[in-house]
Amino acid sequence: MSLIEVNSLCKNYKIADKEQGLSGMLKHIVAPKYHMKEAVKDINFTVEKGESVAYIGSNGAGKSTTIKMLTGILKPTSGNICINGLDPYKHRIQSTKNIGVVFGQRTQLWWDIPIRESFSMLKEIYEIPNSVYDANIKYFGEILGVSEFMGYPARKLSLGQRMRADIVASLIHNPPVIYLDEPTIGLDVAVKERVCEFLKKINKERGTTILLTSHDLDDIEKVCSRIIVIDHGKKLFDGDAALLKRKYAYNRCIVVKTAYDLPKENKICNELPNITVEKTDSHVYEISFNQDEYSAYNIIQKLSEYLPIVDFSLREPSVEQVVKKIYNGEIEREFEV
Kindly list the residues in this chain that would bind ligand ATP in the complex (CB under 6 A). Answer: 13, 15, 37, 39, 57, 59-65
Between residues 105 and 131, which has the closer beta carbon with respect to ligand ATP?
105
Shortest distance (Å) from residue 36 CB to ligand ATP = 10
Shortest distance (Å) from residue 279 CB to ligand ATP = 37
Judge whether 109 and 166 are in contact, CB under 8 Å. yes
Shortest distance (Å) from residue 12 CB to ligand ATP = 9
Between residues 55 and 149, which has the closer beta carbon with respect to ligand ATP?
55
What interhelical angle do 241-248 and 319-327 show, nearest 10?
A: 60
Between residues 115 and 178, which has the closer beta carbon with respect to ligand ATP?
178
Shortest distance (Å) from residue 280 CB to ligand ATP = 33
Q: Which amino acid is at 323?
A: V
Q: Phi, psi at residue 73, to the nearest 5°?
A: -70, -40
Shortest distance (Å) from residue 13 CB to ligand ATP = 3
* The three-state (H, E, C) secondary structure of 104-146, written as one string: CCCCCCCCCCEHHHHHHHHHHHHCCCHHHHHHHHHHHHHHHCH
Between residues 61 and 171, which has the closer beta carbon with respect to ligand ATP?
61
The candidate with the shortest Cα–Cα distance to 249, out of 146, 166, 320, is: 320
Between residues 51 and 231, which has the closer beta carbon with respect to ligand ATP?
231
Shortest distance (Å) from residue 86 CB to ligand ATP = 23
Between residues 39 and 83, which has the closer beta carbon with respect to ligand ATP?
39
Shortest distance (Å) from residue 74 CB to ligand ATP = 9
Judge whether 173 and 95 are in contact, CB under 8 Å. no
Q: Phi, psi at residue 85, to the nearest 5°?
A: 85, 0
List, in order, residues 6 or more apart from 141 with CB less than 8 Å away. Answer: 147, 150, 168
Between residues 13 and 306, which has the closer beta carbon with respect to ligand ATP?
13
Judge whether 230 and 39 are in contact, CB under 8 Å. no
